[in-house]
Amino acid sequence: MGRLILRQFQGADLEPVDLTIEAGECVTLTGSSGSGKTRLLRAIADLDPHGGAALVDRQAVDQTPPPEWRRRVGLLPAESHWWQDRVGDHFNGSANELLTELGLNAACLEWQVARLSSGERQRLALARLLDRQPAVLLLDEPTANLDPENSARVEALVQDYAQQHGAAVLWVSHDPRQRRRVGQRHLVIRERRIETASA
């Protein structure tokens, strides 16, 4: 289970924000580029300094060792980076099921990272993250490089994962139709403030 609670949370030069995302709930976030969406996600994942409080269920960020916090609060950045040559060396367990749902298969674990297309990288980065079973998902434009078919696969996989694991999801997307499809609530950043929006 993972309920994300932000109390007077301050990151990315934004005004302090109070936000609770229930376990299994998906909240979308949008805003013009440079408004601080990416930096807000980085601050929640504790990759950048921040003020206020962030909790997953009852556990506060400053009382959790950083690696444990980041394992629970999984951030999927817009651009993925890989530190080994072989795709499979970035995975912990057997990720077969995840890969199948993303339209890939176990053979791609043997592929060289350098030869991946941008769409493959993006889907494999999601699989790599879900493989570690985070309690909260922070997704930064997870379908930006994908065709409609693969976008649908990613949306379905994330929704399944959120239901099965009771994971709170914060989803950054520029596509209004996608926001309506995946989110139960919608937020927008306007002039350094995070406001509730209609999809």
Partner 1 sequence: MELIQLSAYDLSIPALLVLALSALSWRLRLGVERQLLIAALRSILQLLLLGLVLNTLFSQRAPLPILALALFMLTVAGYEVMARQKRRFRGLWGIGIGTLSMFISSFSITLLAVHLVVRVDPWYTPQYLIPLLGMLLGNTMSGMAIALDNLTRDAWQQRGMIEAQLMLGENWDRAIGEIRRNALRSGLIPIINAMAAAGVVSLPGMMTGQILSGSPPLEAAKYQIMILLLIAVGTGLGAIVAVWIGSRRLFDQRQRLRLERLTGA
- Counting contacts by CB under 8 A, is residue 74 touching partner 1? yes
CA gap 11, 53 in Å, rounded:
11
Residues 6+ apart with CB under 8 A from 86: 109, 110, 111, 112, 113
Q: Which stretch binds partner 1 (CB under 8 A): 29-37, 62-70, 147-155, 189-197?
A: 62-70
Q: Could you say which of 48, 57, 101, 175 contacts partner 1 (CB under 8 A)?
A: 48
* Residue 46 near partner 1 by CB under 8 A: yes
Binding mask 77-106 for partner 1 (x = CB under 8 A): x-xxxxx-----------------------
Choices 72-80, 98-106, 150-158, 189-197; region in contact with partner 1 by CB under 8 A: 72-80
Which segments within the chain are labelled E, that is strand? Answer: 4-10, 17-21, 26-30, 51-56, 59-60, 73-76, 136-140, 168-172, 185-190, 193-196
Question: Is 58 an interacting residue with respect to partner 1 (CB under 8 A)?
Answer: no
The answer to whether 6 contacts partner 1 (rule: CB under 8 A) is: no
Coil, strand, or helix at residue 167? Answer: strand
The neighbouring-strand residues paired with 26 are: 169
| 2 binding partner 1? (CB under 8 A) | no
Residues 149-188 touching partner 1, rule: CB under 8 A, are none
Nearer to partner 1, 2 or 77 (CB): 77
Beta bridge partners of residue 190, listed in sequence order: 193
Give the separation between CA 156 and CA 128, rounded to whole angstroms.
Answer: 17
Residue 128 binds to partner 1 (criterion: CB under 8 A): yes
Nearest to 136, CA basis, from 58, 53, 24, 46: 24
Binding interface with partner 1 (CB under 8 A): 45-49, 66-68, 70-71, 74-75, 77, 79-83, 128-129, 132
